Amino acid sequence: MDNSAAGAIAQPDTCGRSRLAAVDPRVHELLLKQEQQERTTLKLIASENFASAAVLEATGSIFTNKYAEGYPGARYYEGNAIVDELESLALERLRTLFGSEHANVQPYSGSPANQAVYRALLRPGDRVMGLPIPEGGHLTHGWAVNFSGTDYKRVPYGLHEETQQIDYDRLRETAKRERPKLIWVGGTAYPRAFDYALMAEIASEANTYLAADIAHISGLIVAEAHPNPVPHCDVVTSTSHKSIRGPRGGFILSKNEDRYQTLYHQQSKYNLAKRIDRAVFPELQGGPHVNTIAGLAVALQEAASPSFRTYGQQIVKNAKALAQALLDRGYDLVTGGTDNHMLILDLWTRPLSGKAYAGRLAKAGIITNFNMVPGDTRDPSVTSGIRLGTPAVTSMGMREGEMVQIAAFIDLICSKPDDADVQARVRRDVADFCAAFDVPGISDRKAA
């Protein structure tokens, strides 16, 4: 029996029966179906990955049972001496990996981490600059339907019309004119590297905070496959899953001192690090998820290994290879390629919507998500693009050659999107293709 989350939950009792199967056969059945799906499909969703068996074991451990409101050495519940050691270990590993002065591992995910940044740095009504969703930004960077777009004044920046990359010259002009209190750099569907040093210059000229959202690229940063924003930004936020292969959670990195404290928080007696911590707890959250912190500590230990550096760099190599293979087949890509782990397939000139193509691909075992493209005229519920990512297939051990084959699968479906026979044939071929690779946390568990 392995140590995957499924294995940890469904461990056999002394009679050899699965505990989960005995207690809840229906959930056990669904778990096995999910395992089978992940063994036989190509996970190309840029925000998904495979956590290791060790991470899953820690996440599904008895740390689930512990309440630990507060921080190491300052808890509101007794019996947390071991939890203090665990959280302190995760914090130490996180600061070391990213070279950060301060860290917080308690946010429940990336969006709550970003919300804590707003609470720590701004007041309602302050101006916030961010990349809009159609250009690749995230909901929490000032989008209208999100708290960040309703509680704060949105000042979006955009892309260069020709390159579809961030127009830093216009960004600088906008920042000087609008004088926002916070500029976000980061995105959820932006396939190029961010110029953090230039963004820091612009933020300094505008006398504003600079925050980087690295939810997608944290693993690439650790692997030195993408620039590190920590030296340039006041605050850095991230999820703890995606490319860094941890559990579903979040973390925040920051400097200790606040260069703008006298401007924005004249009455505050706390430095930047303390304000970040107070924003997470007690302003926004209660007790942290200790089991998630345990899983993150394990993921950070794995991320410190030489093999992880190789893995992170291979993610980018695979993304570039997949991009080139699709370009060779006549497809359009936003920005014309990629610098990181993702690429955005621009299907605006094709007959179906992004959602329609994503649905056809899913039937063939190719799991993606539909996504807006710059200047998209279709509704966000259907879009004109598809986002593709390589972290998960890279975790399976695939390399550049496999990316060429994946591009061929995608082309077969998109060329004949309504041919059920083609979908069925590709679905079988994809399953056979995946069978040659291990799925971290799953492959050593035999299908029932």
Beta-sheet pairing, 342-346 with 332-333 = antiparallel
141 is in an annotated binding site: no
Q: How far apart are CA 434 and CA 118, in angstroms?
A: 43
Catalytic residue among 2, 67, 84, 378: 67
Spell out the residues 6+ positions from residue 150 whose beta carbon is closer than 8 angstroms to its own: 144
Residue 4, both tokens: 């995957």
Asked if 213 is an active-site residue, the reply is yes
Catalytic residue among 213, 258, 277, 376: 213
Spell out the residues 6+ positions from residue 359 whose beta carbon is closer than 8 angstroms to its own: none
Spell out the residues 6+ positions from residue 276 whose beta carbon is closer than 8 angstroms to its own: 102, 104, 116, 117, 120, 235, 252, 254
Q: Which amino acid is at 374?
A: P
Contacts of residues 6-11 at CB distance under 8 Å and 24 or more positions apart, as own/partner, are: 6/31, 6/32, 6/35, 6/56, 6/441, 6/442, 6/445, 7/53, 7/56, 7/57, 7/445, 8/56, 8/57, 8/60, 8/61, 9/60
Catalytic residue among 48, 69, 302, 444: 69
Q: How far apart are CA 256 and CA 102, in angstroms?
A: 6
Spell out the residues 6+ positions from residue 126 whose beta carbon is closer than 8 angstroms to its own: 152, 153, 180, 181, 182
Residue 216, judged by CB atoms within 10 A of its CB (0-12, 13-18, 19+), counts as buried
Spell out the residues 6+ positions from residue 200 whose beta carbon is closer than 8 angstroms to its own: 210, 232, 233
Asked if 239 is an active-site residue, the reply is yes
Catalytic residue among 43, 172, 181, 242: 242
Asked if 67 is an active-site residue, the reply is yes
End-to-end CA distance of the chain: 13
Catalytic residue among 95, 119, 153, 248: 248
Is the torsion defined by CA of 328, 334, 339, 343 positive or negative?
A: negative
Residue with tokens 């291990």: 438
Residue 314, both tokens: 């291979």
Q: What's the helix, strand, coil split of the chain in %, to 5?
A: 45, 15, 40
Q: How far apart are CA 410 and CA 217, in angstroms?
A: 24
139 is in an annotated binding site: yes
User: Coil, helix or strand for 379?
Assistant: coil
Residue 39, both tokens: 């063994």
Q: Which amino acid is at 341?
A: H
Residue 148, both tokens: 């960040």
Asked if 248 is an active-site residue, the reply is yes
Catalytic residue among 41, 239, 390, 394: 239
Asked if 196 is an active-site residue, the reply is no
Binding site for (6S)-5,6,7,8-tetrahydrofolate, by residue number, is 137-139
Binding-site residues, in ranges, read 137-139
Query: Would you please indicate which residues are annotated as catalytic (active-site) residues?
Result: 67, 69, 213, 239, 242, 248
